[in-house]
Homo-oligomer: A and B are copies of this chain.
Amino acid sequence: MTASAEAKGAAGSLPPVHVIGTGLIGASIGLALTGAGADVTLEDQSETSVALARDLGAGRITGPVEPGVVVVAAPPDVAPRLVLTALERWPEAVVTDVASVKQVILADLVRAGVPIERYVGSHPMAGRERSGAISARADLFEGRAWVLCPHDGSDAAATQIVARLAQATGAAVTTLSAADHDAAVAAVSHVPQVAASLVAARLEGLSEQAIGLAGQGVRDVTRIAASDPGLWTQILSGNAAAVGEVLRVVSDDLVAIVRALEALGEDTNVADAPGARAVLARSIAGGNAGQARIPGKHGAPPASYAVVRVVVDDRPGELARLLAEIGEEGVNLEELRLDHGLGLPFGLAEVSVLPAAAGRLSEALQGRGWQIHS
């Protein structure tokens, strides 16, 4: 039994699920839960959308008698109203929403002044570049975090049911308060997006030769700058306070760096601007400390891998041959990065392995005729 199938075993105990909103996320939840054996009904203000989701296998349309759990999969600005309606329509059901911001929604519900002990907000950390039921996938949540945000007044039993639902999609459940959730996604998702976009915007005016100097560093930093402006305007607006709080600190740090560079640009004599250099050094060191906190794969603590660099010709099958031979040596690949040379028909494969395996792997690959950049 695979881990994925084990996770889905939990769905057998799920009460009937009603999904309101059959866009990408709602339809994917329907597909995942139906696939895991749950009884899923669907609802959407668009008849076309709900029919499409049904046809794709996300669930039945026939009106729910009495669902045990209701999932509101709608944008933050309509989610609170739909949650309140659901709590009223089904007085025994647990209700969750899956919007990517949580405080704004909880505040709206509290303001409504009705009991919300059966409501537990949540956020599956998954998405796609495309939207709509047509892009839905049963495996969208597999291996992704799904954050639960119980509040002061929520029932423990309600939280457990939402957790079982999330687990049944293959997601890894984690629990945070709404405020902590919003602050966390501001730091690990929303602020990196803004930084990537602003750095990328500075590349537009470069000459062909200048942009030709772009290496792996700027490629990595700006990869997510290709994201959709409409989607990100919604996300940033919905988490404005938390994103603003983190970005204000980044902005202050940046202003200090600009001032330090201005001081250094006017006078490059080391003795005259010791404070300016300290600002730069502290900024880079601060980044070291933060970067080191990002967990390694599988949620494990960050591991320090050894990197073996191998020259790989740019032909079909060459990289495969390399990885096959690494496999034959019994070495597990932890990370792989391809670094293509400028104007040359080969690349460098940076193979990350556990430090204890690196020396043996280098020797073995050289013995097999690979050129190693040691």
Contacts and interface: CB of A to CB of B under 8 A. Distances in A.
A374 B142 CA distance: 14
A112 interface: no
Interface stretch (A17-25, A45-53, A330-338, A362-370): A330-338
Contacts of A63: none
Interface string A194-238: 111111111110110111111101111111111111101100111
B192 A217 contact: yes
A323 interface: yes
Given A268-B237, A293-B204, A316-B327, A199 B195 contact: yes
A113 interface: no
Contacts of A196: 195, 217, 221, 287, 291
Interface string A336-374: 101011111111100000000000000000000001011
Q: So how many copies of this chain end up in the complex? A: 2
A145 B343 CA distance: 9
Contact of A291 (B125, B222, B373): B222
A277 interface: yes
Contacts of A227: 284, 287-288
Interface residues of A, number: 144
A253 to B, nearest CB: 5
A350 to B, nearest CB: 11
A137 B220 CA distance: 25
A147 interface: yes
A258 B281 contact: no
Contacts of A248: 258
A294 interface: yes
Q: Which of A189, A261, A298, A335: most chain B Cβ within 10 A? A: A261
